[in-house]
Amino acid sequence: MKTKVLKFGGSSLADSGQFKKVSDIVKADPSRRFVVASAPGKRFDDDIKVTDLLYSCYEKARSGMDFDPVLSEIAGRFREIINELDIDFDIDPEIEAIKHNLNDYPSRSYAASRGEYLNSKILAAYLGYEFIDPYYCIHFNSDGTLDTKSTREDLSETLAPLTNAVIAGFYGSGPDGNIITFTRGGSDITGSLVAQAVGAELYENWTDVSGLLAGDPRIIDDPRVVEYISYRELRTLSYMGATVLHADALLPVNQAGIPVNIKNTNRPEDPGTMIVSDLPKERELHTITGVAGRKGLSVIQVEKMMVSDGAGFTAIILDVFKHYGVPFEQCLTGIDTVTVIIRSDYFKAMKYELLNAIEDQVHPDTLIVKENLAMIAVVGEADADYQGSTVCILGAISAAGIDLNTINQGAGSLNLIIGVEEKDYEKAVRAVYNSIL
């Protein structure tokens, strides 16, 4: 039997109108068998997500304040969906249970998880599908990391006999029987785990945009939607700030080679973005996949004459960063130079410790620090002429009168990371985008 796993985000399940769209989408294709649901999101700009209301309930409960009004607001949101869709579902005992549990033993994760728990139960009732509580099949270790092995086994075993089911997103349980959630937006991870566990042919991630944009719309007018992107390319763009899927959601589907289709619940006819292991060969329309970047970076450049003739110079420098627990973003090496790029907030907090330790350890000829930098990543694995594109991109930056600080180009395909001053960031992104897309 063909199997697709669908995950619907909060905005796709924010009210009864959205529930109807979700039902139409699910029922339109019999292979859409397993549905992962988020908690109700915002219905309009100033609205509050149910998860945020639940966090607020927890904060009040923890400090002994009355959380009843907030819980009633949450109950009201679910009641409205239930009534408008005429679903046979009694919300009152559920709300009473939450109230008791929060009074007796306020737990942040428990509180947050109730949005997904209730919304998925209601959606299951609406679709006529079985409800699966991930408490019993998504397991965390005592350090809060996911127990991938037992999760895969238990999810597979639970879902194998079922034709259809709705699985609550965002949470599971720890070894002590306590509820544990992923970080915000974590229902994406649940969807990915379910897709892996059932060996899905496709993971459809339904949201309120028609896919990943090839550039930041706050900087570029009307950027195009990316049709295909590889897991690796998406990892680079996400790392640089492009948001379309929770970063940890990529791993399970990537391991299983399951493509992910980002789709728009409000425009189901749009093809969206396909995230795949390898880009299709026939793709020729856009050889460059996308551009993303971020500000707030600092560069430390260490130079010492003749040091490249020996061994271990770079390792000694990187050990300094390790010693102070400062992660680095990039490390570029040249003849007798090592350039380390780190986040400015880390640098500011440890500036003198890092610089003194580098002085002590390697006695450099020069130690140059540049702050207020930005990085721009350009990816395009399918670009046959990636060298030509690199020349074109660098030419466009230069033609825009922007100074290049660093250039990092991986071997074999377009995976270019350019460092510019923060003040030039937007201009540089526009120059890059316009030169290649």
Quick one: which segment of 82-90, 180-188, 371-379, 412-420 binds ligand ASP (CB under 6 A)? 180-188
Quick one: which segment of 12-20, 66-74, 178-186, 279-287 binds ligand ASP (CB under 6 A)? 178-186
* CB 336, min distance to ligand ASP, A: 48
Pairing of strands 337-343, 273-276: unpaired
If one asks whether residue 186 binds ligand ASP (CB under 6 A), the answer comes out as yes
Quick one: which segment of 185-193, 262-270, 272-280, 331-339 binds ligand ASP (CB under 6 A)? 185-193
SS3 425: helix
DSSP code of residue 403: P
* CB 112, min distance to ligand ASP, A: 7
Backbone angles phi, psi at 266, to 5 degrees: -85, -10
Neighbouring residues of 293: CB distance < 8 A, sequence distance ≥ 6: 216, 240, 241, 374, 375, 376, 377, 425, 428, 429
Burial label, 161 (beta-carbon count in 10 A; 0-12, 13-18, 19+): exposed
* CB 66, min distance to ligand ASP, A: 24
Whose Cβ is closer to ligand ASP: residue 118's or residue 342's? 118
DSSP code of residue 130: E
Whose Cβ is closer to ligand ASP: residue 169's or residue 419's? 169
CA distance 190 to 146: 11
**Which x/- pattern over 109-128 shows residues binding ligand ASP (rule: CB under 6 A)?**
------x-------------
CA distance 360 to 287: 47
Q: Any idea which residue has 């990537």 for tokens?
A: 254
* CB 233, min distance to ligand ASP, A: 23
Angle at the Cα of 68 (from 65 to 73), degrees rounded to 5? 130
If one asks whether residue 184 binds ligand ASP (CB under 6 A), the answer comes out as yes
* CB 19, min distance to ligand ASP, A: 16
Residue pair 165/130 in contact (Cβ under 8 Å)? The answer is yes
Whose Cβ is closer to ligand ASP: residue 186's or residue 364's? 186
Q: Which residues within the stretch 13-42 sit at the binding site for ligand ASP (CB under 6 A)?
A: 38-39
- HSE-CB at 117 with a 13 A cutoff on CA atoms is 24
CA distance 110 to 180: 7
* CB 186, min distance to ligand ASP, A: 5
If one asks whether residue 49 binds ligand ASP (CB under 6 A), the answer comes out as yes
* CB 228, min distance to ligand ASP, A: 24
* Among residues 185, 290, 293, 419, the one that binds ligand ASP under rule CB under 6 A: 185
If one asks whether residue 10 binds ligand ASP (CB under 6 A), the answer comes out as yes
CA distance 341 to 329: 5
Q: Which residues within the stretch 323-342 sit at the binding site for ligand ASP (CB under 6 A)?
A: none
How many residues are there in the chain? 437
In the bound complex, which residue of the shown chain has the CB atom lying closest to ligand ASP?
Answer: 187
Which residues lie near ligand ASP (CB under 6 A)?
Answer: 9-10, 38-39, 49, 51, 115, 169-170, 184-187
